[in-house]
Structure 1
Amino acid sequence: MCESSEKDLYSVLGAWPSDSVQQLRHRYQQLALQYHPDRCGATCSPEENFNVGKFLEIDAAWKVLGDETSRREYDVQRRALELKQDGPMDSAVCLDDMTWNQDESVYTYCCRCGGGFSVTEEELQEETQQEDGEEEGEHKGVLVSCDSCSLTLCVANTSHAAHINTVTDGTGLEV
């Protein structure tokens, strides 16, 4: 799956990450018919050789995106790459304002689009280790993208121990 990190497989198929498997299959079939090597015949011109390369690229993209497990893995890798890139931050939230999901071991926060933001303890710890070398004034926190829209959130990294040990009386006041 190393070539998938170099090129966006969805764009190879002319598709979107939100497309269903049936939509991806339809795009693949259209492109496969257009670029299939059998259309070349016995002698291939340089243009037809390009078509063969294009077909191989399309076929490789379909092999990843057509399988539910490999598509999920690809989406996770793609999302991790997007999160590592510096981009505009739409808002910031303190870790204390997020909800801890014990079953999935992840902090979650609702987006205004109805989707959600999520960050794991491991991601928070990695960012904390990286921040030790940062200068004052640089952002302190983890950039997280919404799972449904293009909004990005900066999660201010507070001590996990302080988060667990803080108890409120329901009015927001610590007890």
Structure 2
Amino acid sequence: MCDAAEKDLYVVLGASPSDSIQQLRHRYQQLALQYHPDRLQCECSPEAESGIKKFLEADAAWKILGDQKTRRQYDLQRRAQELKQDWPVDCTIILGDMTWDQDEHVYTYCCRCGGGFAVSEEDTQIRQRDDKVEETEEGRHRGLVVCCDTCSLSVYVICSLDRKT
């Protein structure tokens, strides 16, 4: 059941998030008929073990997606995870290479579209507490992805932990 929690439950059922509850039930029933342990002939074969594993994954997925409340909760967690994933990054820049705006208390960097990237001093401090530390030849640092305020480009901003920027 732990494996099913790590996998996309919709993929386990061969469905999509836009499918209705009836469509999900139909997919689950098909998988249950195909992989249910009572339907498998050999109990000791690798095929039977694989089938049982698939049945257990489908059953765990159905238990979550078959209930409106738990499905909504799963969809929210899934969406949050998607938002945490890495963005396509145009380039990597060092926080020290950004321009410090004393009035706004923000680091800025110009985008090639004419827009700009902005990182507040607060963001760098919060990120330094929350993110994983990366060790490189240049020293220890943490980074964050910042999106342009005009276009869809993003940059990876490196915040050094070894020296104050």
Partner of residue 24, structure 1: 24
- Partner AA of 1:12 in structure 2: V
Unpaired segments ≥5 residues, structure 2: 90-118, 128-141, 155-165
How many residue pairs end up in the alignment?
107
SS of aligned partner of 1:78: helix
TM superposition score normalised by structure 1: 0.51
2: distance between equivalents of 1:43 and 1:4?
A: 22
CA deviation map 1:64-122 (0-9, x unaligned): 00000000000010000000112249xxxxxxxxxxxxxxxxxxxxxxxxxxxxxxxxx
What is the CA–CA distance in structure 2 between the aligned matches of 1:47 and 1:2, rounded to whole Å? 20
Q: How far apart are 1:43 and its partner, in Å?
A: 3.7
| Equivalent runs, 1:153-164 vs 2, <5 Å | none
In structure 2, relative to structure 1, the CA distance for the partners of 1:58 and 1:153 (3 Å cut) is farther
In 1, the alpha carbon distance for the partners of 2:13 and 2:73 equals 18
Report the equivalent of 1:160: none
1:132 equivalent to 2:124? Answer: yes
What does 1:27-106 correspond to in 2, within 5 Å? 27-41=27-41, 43-88=43-88
Shift of 1:129: 8.2
Task: Flag the structure with higher strand content.
Answer: 2
In 2: Cα distance, 1:30 partner to 1:60 partner: 15
2:11 aligned partner: 11
Distance 1:128 1:40, change over 3 A: farther
- How much identity, in percent, do the aligned residues show? 60
Q: Secondary structure at the match of 2:146?
A: coil
Taking only aligned residues, the RMSD between alpha carbons, in angstroms, comes to 3.5
Instruction: Write the distance in 2 (CA, Å) between the matches of 1:2 and 1:83.
Output: 23
**Contact residue 5 and residue 78 of structure 1 kept, 8 A:** no
**Distance in 2 (alpha carbons) for counterparts of 1:82 and 1:153:** 18
C-alpha change, 1:47 and 1:2, in structure 2 (3 Å) is closer
User: Which letter maps to 2:146?
Assistant: H
Deviation digits for residues 37-85 of structure 1 (CA, Å, limit 9, x no counterpart) = 0012474312111101110010000000000000000001000000011
TM-score, normalisation: structure 2: 0.54
Decide whether aligned partners of structure 1 residues 86 and 8 sit closer, same or farther in structure 2, where only a CA change above 3 A counts.
Answer: same
Cα distance 1:85–1:46, how it changes in 2: closer, same or farther (>3 A)?
A: same
Structure 1, unmatched stretches of 5+, are 90-126, 142-151, 155-175
Structure 1 runs of 4+ with >3 Å offset: 1-5, 41-44, 127-130
Determine helix, strand or coil for the equivalent of 1:17: coil
Q: What SS class does the counterpart of residue 132 from structure 1 fall into?
A: helix
Structure index of larger Rg: 2
